[in-house]
Structure 1
């Protein structure tokens, strides 16, 4: 039975930068939690950033630059968090990841534009990009149906 790396905030852990709950509630997720198939992880907190922290955005892609609104360069912490997330996903043999959308770490397909105006653009957060680079399929909280179908196929192929 495959495991899923999950943004810890989506499982109700108080790790989001504003300390607010982001918990996804769904019977299938609860079943997987009881089965020990969910692997909660927050790249920012794992890299040493505090829970109460200013928002950050990807300011430029090449070379990568992630800053907070005041311009503080947070790139090293975000890169370290991405490396740690990959290590955990590989160690736990996660077959995919369920990540928080729009996050400069976890956003699988959309992030904010780097201007701190909350304008979403196509692109991936640094952790999402690292997981994708290593072949780990990604889903966000708007893609639960797709995640459930993917996991059903995983479970069928493992049986």
Structure 2
């Protein structure tokens, strides 16, 4: 996390500004396996009314559970394929747009997203081979949020910031 992201998060926390948070980090069982990845400190933000839960895949009406998916580059274009080799890019783009709409409606200028996800991954994502190999990059939603001026950090960055 860079210094500007750190400063933006600190300011948002101090001023009780709205923050987008991946719903699975708040304890909602909605990831691709129907599981949650709760972070107690983020759940507290939610209980205080500061965290706005978002799940791009759910916003795109994808099922829970759903097949795992990863980003691949095809002819220079980023695509999302599930492990059955089905192109699900449109669903991920729809979820990304609906997440951006939520950020705009709420006034959130920062998002805390689940690391490594094809939607929410920030800085590191899986390489598209379903071999658990990580590469540098952002998920579809994170890339769109960043392009529109929303600062994005991972749950690990958030916990580090609290120290």
What's the TM-score bracket when you normalise by the shorter of the two chains? 0.7 to 0.9
Distance in 2, Cα, partners of 1:32 & 1:46:
21
What is the SS of the residue equivalent to 1:72?
A: coil
Question: CA shift at 1:86, angstroms?
Answer: 0.2
Distance in 2, Cα, partners of 1:30 & 1:65:
32
Q: How many residues align?
A: 147
Aligned residue runs from structure 1 range 92-107, under 5 A: 92-107=106-121
Moved over 3 A (4+): 145-149
Distance in 2, Cα, partners of 1:103 & 1:31:
23
Q: Give the counterpart of 1:67 among 81, 84, 87.
A: 81
Query: Corresponding residue for 1:14?
Result: 29
User: Are 2:115 and 2:155, in contact at CA under 8 Å, matched by a contact in 1?
Assistant: yes
Query: Corresponding residue for 2:6?
Result: none
- Output the aligned Cα RMSD: 1.5
Query: Corresponding residue for 2:12?
Result: none
Distance in 1, Cα, partners of 2:78 & 2:25:
26
Question: CA shift at 1:45, angstroms?
Answer: 1.0
User: Are 2:30 and 2:64, in contact at CA under 8 Å, matched by a contact in 1?
Assistant: yes
Q: When the two structures are superposed, what TM-score results if normalisation uses the length of structure 2?
A: 0.85
Structure 2 gap segments, 5+ residues each: 1-15
User: Are 1:10 and 1:23, in contact at CA under 8 Å, matched by a contact in 2?
Assistant: yes
Distance in 1, Cα, partners of 2:161 & 2:118:
21
Structure 1 gap segments, 5+ residues each: 150-159
Distance in 2, Cα, partners of 1:30 & 1:141:
12
Aligned residue runs from structure 1 range 60-139, under 5 A: 60=73, 62-139=76-153
Q: When the two structures are superposed, what TM-score results if normalisation uses the length of structure 1?
A: 0.87
